[in-house]
Structure 1
Amino acid sequence: MSRFLAPLTLDRLDDLPAACRRCVHWELDPVAGERAVRAGDAAFEKEAWLSAVLLEWGTAGRIAYVDDVPAGYVTYAPPAFVPRSTAFPTSPVSPDAVLLMTAAVLPLYRGGGLARMLVQGAAKDLTRRGLRAIEAFGDASPPAVPPDPADVRTAEAPPGGCVVPAEFLLAVGFTTVRPHPRYPRLRLDLRTALSWREDVEAALERILAGVRHPVLTGS
């Protein structure tokens, strides 16, 4: 079984799960995101967003492959490229950090270490680019029922299925920098991710198993 990570580029965009490929929750502000979804333009807007980020900053994530089949992904970008980041009650992201937007491993491939591989791959990429930290808005109490794809939430209540569980973020070394009962903001020193021990892997996979695939209102 061969496993490798590849940068998220335009030619690999279609390797994201279909729901995430059509999702612009993070990439657009709430009003523009709702408009794009209703007009059926979400996939086009996502491609346009990624194109702009690639041109101005570089790759915005990593995709994991197992035997050449897409098996998981992580996405991240500077908060200036992520309009939805200002909609959280614990915003803004620190000036020296990049925002982790999404992270997921497809169910068939969980338990094989891809979660740690993805986060460490992101840490290596960002470290090479001179960055020191990555932050994320965690969901401290993910809802038991995934949100309705047609329901575009308000700024105070981003769709829970589109936000990485805070439990997962804490398990991979993030620490809380701004508490909140539902959407705390957490931070990871990239050097911490690069020095993980192998025995962290089991905890990561167990937590990530609870991460749902994004829906149309969140990516």
Structure 2
Amino acid sequence: MSEVYDRLRAEIVDGTWEPGAALAELALAERYGTSRTPVREALRRLQQDGLVERGQRGMRVRTRSPEEILEIYEVRVSLEATAASAAAQRRTDFDLVRISRAQKEMSATPTSDPAEMAAANLAVHEAIWAASHNGTVVDLLTRLNNHLTRYPATTLALPGRWEEAIGEHEAIIAAIERGDAERAHDLARDHMSKARELRLRIYGDTASG
């Protein structure tokens, strides 16, 4: 069952299945060479992930909208700030090592591959989430990130944003290392607020293009 889930999820994320595309169980079963049962289970999990939704004629790839971007970031801005604040209060030495390693790897990531850039950036965020030692926050942020995978273009590919994001990370990490929860909170909030505005700009450019 997980193989069908993994394959269908990857194809939704890479755009093989466009927003609004119908996901008929029988057609998917034939495509992946399986029965309808694992397809049904995969669709259920993908619905929980926020990647598919129920339409008038069955399941379909979830559509995109600027309103959804605002909804996602309204929650994510708050949760990222909460995670950074908690990390400043609860981080262990191991957490700091893991965050520092992720940040160094991000800095060394070539800017020729947007997917690698996005993955390296996410690794830094995930290390900070883990340092919060709040499983609920980590779970919610993971789910929110799943929603954003349907918007494949990364804000990090915009001119100057990559270097800017690295600098913003460094400031957040420094606050976490100092145990300055209030500063870490505010920096993380501002970092994600800027990402929201850039994400909306990308969506607008894509929609108008």
* TM-score normalised according to structure 2 size: 0.23
The structure carrying a bigger strand percent of its residues is 1
Normalized per residue, which structure has more helix?
A: 2
Max Rg structure: 2
What's the TM-score, normalizing by structure 1?
0.22
